[in-house]
């Protein structure tokens, strides 16, 4: 186990800004460090009891609401009063909080080759198995590991089989991809910091982030920063002093690339105001979109590049556009495509027919139909979640805690669910029509295709999202038929996170999405776009396919805390990439209208 993808970890993604020093170490951050220490000790073959002690301590640290950092600072002796934390772990906590690192961990990190550490990061491999591979086959790099899998040498080791080779190969792919691209939401935090910082440079006249970030792509490879200035030297000097810059990769007259502390590359280009629009258009991309644009320009006898649009007349080039992005597109007879649509999918056809969709915006959203409370694995109480949703200007929410099968998350059995629903009735009475709380449930679709709760219970819900949490490794036929079954079920309203993927962490399960969307359309059901930055499920392409079939998308935060409600905008961004308008998105409508769509009040 390197780092299981737990809900807490997913929430943490958003609070762990890469490269930023965190003033107070969060519990999950502390647990991550101790887990890493345990991993490396296990890799070295340390005493199993010691490792187990670390593991149970990290579990305890993740599960307590007491701030370990605070206790370690103020009353270090009290640390051992927390269940699961012994003397030696307590000492580690104090050291970590005081020094910001652990001496023992630093030493181990120096001893074990970097490439071996990369092996430890492969999902499903784990320290023990990695150690066996390292010691018995002498494998030290991911490349060697891949070769050994392909040559079927891994299965010669005790405890490994053909299946493990397949798993490792898949894991290598994931680990490699994970190292290269970051979640859009994490890129966004870095962008905000850079924006704030660059605003302090007087030589900067205008500034914009282009590239995949501006297009809202689910993951971002590097950041592309465009600055208008007359003094590129000053801008680049200032940029180089950004506190999180780890090293400068390259620097020229007007171009500079740096690497930030967490490995993220930022490309800076300084341009004149005359060519800002052209540069913004060019560096926003995508490359494929630009290829089409260039060929359209050529037909008009125009040339387009990052400096402007030029007309070729008698061997000379006349500038016809460049200052604004609108000029650049308009001179070619095109509308200004929203950046999210610039992927060379359908945008040019839409423009030709004058049918460019007016994309949904965050302010169109009226309700949030998937969230959890302290009744299961959420951090906010029913009242806190409702209060926070009202403060965010929503009109309605559905409370959708987990169903009983998720027993480790305290999933609700019929009795507890009905209790929660009567609390919701009372809450609605108090709210007196100002806001609507819907009685919902996130009901598991069991391995055999049955729903996790009896029909007579589901029949009383206002809103049921059905999801696959177990048996994700079943065949394409099995999983598809489970989801088709749920869609045919009279009391199911929508399918939650329909492919189960976790970006950079876990692939989507095998499912026939065409058949699923077809069935959703036939039964008048909705499909979720889960807004969590690590999910974004359905993705942009699936959303576009749903739209084609007239299947409404419901964008939901799946919030497990009050802060989780703010993830809505990440979902909206992907919906925009899928070309969805407000009317394509169910939760831009009133609850009464949504009810109509899912077949009226039952």
Report the residue number, 16 or 219, with the smaller CB distance to ligand DGT.
219
* The token pair that represents 355 in the structure block: 């049918």
* Per-position x/- string for 481-520, each x denoting binding to Zn ion as judged by CB under 5 A, each - no binding: ----------------------------------------
The least distance separating ligand DGT from the CB of residue 345, rounded to whole angstroms, comes to 14
The least distance separating ligand DGT from the CB of residue 223, rounded to whole angstroms, comes to 8
Which region, judged by CB under 6 A, interacts with ligand DGT, from 68-76, 211-219, 408-416, 425-433? Answer: 211-219
How many CB atoms within 10 Å of residue 339?
Answer: 24
Say which entry of Zn ion, ligand DGT, Ca ion, none residue 286 contacts (CB below 5 to 8 A, set by partner kind): ligand DGT
The least distance separating Zn ion from the CB of residue 463, rounded to whole angstroms, comes to 13
Q: Which of residues 431-470 bind Ca ion (CB under 5 A)?
A: none
Taking alpha carbons only, the member of 453, 452, 446 closest to residue 468 is 446
The least distance separating ligand DGT from the CB of residue 212, rounded to whole angstroms, comes to 3
Terminal CA-CA length for the chain: 45
Say which entry of Ca ion, ligand DGT, Zn ion, none residue 283 contacts (CB below 5 to 8 A, set by partner kind): ligand DGT
By the rule CB under 6 A, 220 interacts with ligand DGT: yes
Burial class from Cβ neighbours inside 10 Å (0-12, 13-18, 19+) for residue 403 reads buried
The least distance separating ligand DGT from the CB of residue 245, rounded to whole angstroms, comes to 18
Burial class from Cβ neighbours inside 10 Å (0-12, 13-18, 19+) for residue 395 reads middle
Report the residue number, 165 or 368, with the smaller CB distance to Zn ion.
368
Which region, judged by CB under 6 A, interacts with ligand DGT, from 73-81, 221-229, 246-254, 309-317? Answer: 221-229
Q: Which of residues 557-576 bind Zn ion (CB under 5 A)?
A: 558
Q: Residue 527: which H helix or E strand, with range?
A: strand 526-530
Which region, judged by CB under 6 A, interacts with ligand DGT, from 217-225, 271-279, 318-326, 417-425? Answer: 217-225
List the beta strands (DSSP E) in 370-433.
Answer: 396-399
Question: Whole-angstrom Cα distance, residue 188 to residue 223?
Answer: 10
Which region, judged by CB under 6 A, interacts with ligand DGT, from 97-105, 191-199, 209-217, 331-339? Answer: 209-217
Report the residue number, 123 or 216, with the smaller CB distance to Ca ion.
216
By the rule CB under 5 A, 165 interacts with Ca ion: no
List the beta strands (DSSP E) in 100-244.
Answer: 182-183, 206-209, 219-220, 222-228
The least distance separating ligand DGT from the CB of residue 304, rounded to whole angstroms, comes to 9
Question: Whole-angstrom Cα distance, residue 19 to residue 177?
Answer: 20
By the rule CB under 5 A, 540 interacts with Zn ion: no
Say which entry of Zn ion, Ca ion, ligand DGT, none residue 558 contacts (CB below 5 to 8 A, set by partner kind): Zn ion
Burial class from Cβ neighbours inside 10 Å (0-12, 13-18, 19+) for residue 295 reads exposed
Report the residue number, 217 or 577, with the smaller CB distance to ligand DGT.
217
Report the residue number, 92 or 217, with the smaller CB distance to ligand DGT.
217
Strand 526-530 to strand 553-556: parallel, antiparallel, or no bridges (unpaired)?
parallel
| Paired residues of 305 in beta bridges | 308
Angstrom distances, CA of residue 278 to CA of 210, 292, 325, 482, 509: 12, 15, 6, 50, 42
Determine contact, residues 250/256, Cβ cutoff 8 Å: yes
Q: What is the DSSP letter of 589?
A: S
Taking alpha carbons only, the member of 362, 354, 220, 205 closest to residue 285 is 220
By the rule CB under 6 A, 369 interacts with ligand DGT: no
Taking alpha carbons only, the member of 257, 265, 178, 271 closest to residue 534 is 178
Contact pick of 19, 123, 127, 211 for ligand DGT (by CB under 6 A): 211
By the rule CB under 5 A, 211 interacts with Ca ion: yes
Say which entry of ligand DGT, Ca ion, Zn ion, none residue 290 contacts (CB below 5 to 8 A, set by partner kind): ligand DGT
Q: What is the DSSP letter of 477?
A: H
Taking alpha carbons only, the member of 163, 173, 166, 209 closest to residue 188 is 209
Say which entry of Ca ion, Zn ion, ligand DGT, none residue 5 contacts (CB below 5 to 8 A, set by partner kind): none
* Per-position x/- string for 276-305, each x denoting binding to ligand DGT as judged by CB under 6 A, each - no binding: ------xx-xxx--xx--------------
Determine contact, residues 370/465, Cβ cutoff 8 Å: yes
DSSP symbols for 299-355:
HTTEEEETTEEEEEETTEEEEEE-SSHHHHHHHTT-----GGG-SSSSHHHHHHTT-
Say which entry of ligand DGT, Ca ion, Zn ion, none residue 540 contacts (CB below 5 to 8 A, set by partner kind): none
Which region, judged by CB under 5 A, interacts with Ca ion, from 40-48, 168-176, 204-212, 487-495? Answer: 204-212
CA dihedral 345, 183, 561, 60 (to 10 degrees): 140
Which region, judged by CB under 5 A, interacts with Ca ion, from 32-40, 139-147, 160-168, 265-273? Answer: 265-273
By the rule CB under 6 A, 221 interacts with ligand DGT: yes
How many CB atoms within 10 Å of residue 364?
Answer: 17
By the rule CB under 6 A, 224 interacts with ligand DGT: yes
Determine contact, residues 91/72, Cβ cutoff 8 Å: no
The least distance separating Zn ion from the CB of residue 591, rounded to whole angstroms, comes to 19
Contact pick of 442, 528, 537, 584 for Zn ion (by CB under 5 A): 442
Report the residue number, 211 or 378, with the smaller CB distance to ligand DGT.
211
Which region, judged by CB under 5 A, interacts with Zn ion, from 111-119, 186-194, 539-547, 555-563? Answer: 555-563
By the rule CB under 5 A, 285 interacts with Ca ion: no
Determine contact, residues 1/126, Cβ cutoff 8 Å: yes
Burial class from Cβ neighbours inside 10 Å (0-12, 13-18, 19+) for residue 119 reads buried
The least distance separating Zn ion from the CB of residue 368, rounded to whole angstroms, comes to 12
By the rule CB under 6 A, 588 interacts with ligand DGT: no
Write out the residues near ligand DGT by the rule CB under 6 A.
211-212, 217, 220-222, 224, 282-283, 285-287, 290-291
Write out the residues near Zn ion by the rule CB under 5 A.
442, 558
Write out the residues near Ca ion by the rule CB under 5 A.
211-212, 222, 224, 267
């Amino acid at each position: 186990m390197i780092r299981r993808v737990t809900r807490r970890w997913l929430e943490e993604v958003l609070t762990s800004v890469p490269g930023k020093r965190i003033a107070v170490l969060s519990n999950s951050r502390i647990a991550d460090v101790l887990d890493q220490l345990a991993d490396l000790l296990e890799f070295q073959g340390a005493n199993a009891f010691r490792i187990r002690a670390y593991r149970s301590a990290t579990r305890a640290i993740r599960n307590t609401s007491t701030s370990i950092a605070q206790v370690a600072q103020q009353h270090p002796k009290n640390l051992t009063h927390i269940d699961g934390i012994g003397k030696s772990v307590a000492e580690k906590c104090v050291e970590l909080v005081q020094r910001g690192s652990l001496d023992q961990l630093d030493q181990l990190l120096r001893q074990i080759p970097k490439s071996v550490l990369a092996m430890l990061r492969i999902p499903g491999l784990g320290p023990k198995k990695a150690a066996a591979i390292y010691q018995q086959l002498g494998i030290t790099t991911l490349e060697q590991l891949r070769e050994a899998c392909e040559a079927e040498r891994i299965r010669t080791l005790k405890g490994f089989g053909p299946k493990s080779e397949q798993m490792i190969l898949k894991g290598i792919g994931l680990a490699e991809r994970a190292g290269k691209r970051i979640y859009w939401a994490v890129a966004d935090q870095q962008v905000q910091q850079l924006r704030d910082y660059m605003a302090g440079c007087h030589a900067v006249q205008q500034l914009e982030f282009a590239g995949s970030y501006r297009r809202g792509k689910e993951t971002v490879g590097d950041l592309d920063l465009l600055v208008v200035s007359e003094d590129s030297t000053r801008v680049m000097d200032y940029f180089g002093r950004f506190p999180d810059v780890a090293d400068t990769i390259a620097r020229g007259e007007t171009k500079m690339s740096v690497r930030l502390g967490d490995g993220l590359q930022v490309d800076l280009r300084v341009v004149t105001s005359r060519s800002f629009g052209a540069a913004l258009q060019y560096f926003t991309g995508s490359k494929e979109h630009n290829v089409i644009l260039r060929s359209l320009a050529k037909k008009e006898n125009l040339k387009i590049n990052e400096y402007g649009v030029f007309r070729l007349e008698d061997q000379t080039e006349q500038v016809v556009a460049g200052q604004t992005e609108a000029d650049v597109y308009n001179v070619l007879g095109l509308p200004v495509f929203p950046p999210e649509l610039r992927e060379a999918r359908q945008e040019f056809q839409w423009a030709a027919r004058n049918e460019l969709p007016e994309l949904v915006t965050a302010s169109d959203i009226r309700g949030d139909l998937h969230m959890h409370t302290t009744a299961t694995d959420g951090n906010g109480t029913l009242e806190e979640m409702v209060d926070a949703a009202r403060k965010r200007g929503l009109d309605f929410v559905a409370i959708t805690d987990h169903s009983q099968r998720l027993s480790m998350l305290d999933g609700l059995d019929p009795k507890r669910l009905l209790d929660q629903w009567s609390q919701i009735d009372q809450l609605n009475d108090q709210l007196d029509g100002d806001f609507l709380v819907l009685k919902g449930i996130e009901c598991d679709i069991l391995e055999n295709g049955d729903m996790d709760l009896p029909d007579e219970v589901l029949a009383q819900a206002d809103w049921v999202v059905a999801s696959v949490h177990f048996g994700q490794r079943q065949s394409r036929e099995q999983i598809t038929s489970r989801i088709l079954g749920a869609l045919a079920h009279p009391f199911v309203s929508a399918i939650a996170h329909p492919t189960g993927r976790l970006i950079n962490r876990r692939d989507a399960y095998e499912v026939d999405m065409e058949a699923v969307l077809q069935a959703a359309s036939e039964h008048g059901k909705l499909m979720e776009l889960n807004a969590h930055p690590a999910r974004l499920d359905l993705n942009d392409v699936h959303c576009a396919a749903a739209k084609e079939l007239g299947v409404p998308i419901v964008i939901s935060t799946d919030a497990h805390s009050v802060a989780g409600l703010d993830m809505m905008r990440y979902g909206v961004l992907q919906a925009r990439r899928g070309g969805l308008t407000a009317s394509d998105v169910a939760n831009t409508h009133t609850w009464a209208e949504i009810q109509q769509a899912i077949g009226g009040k039952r």
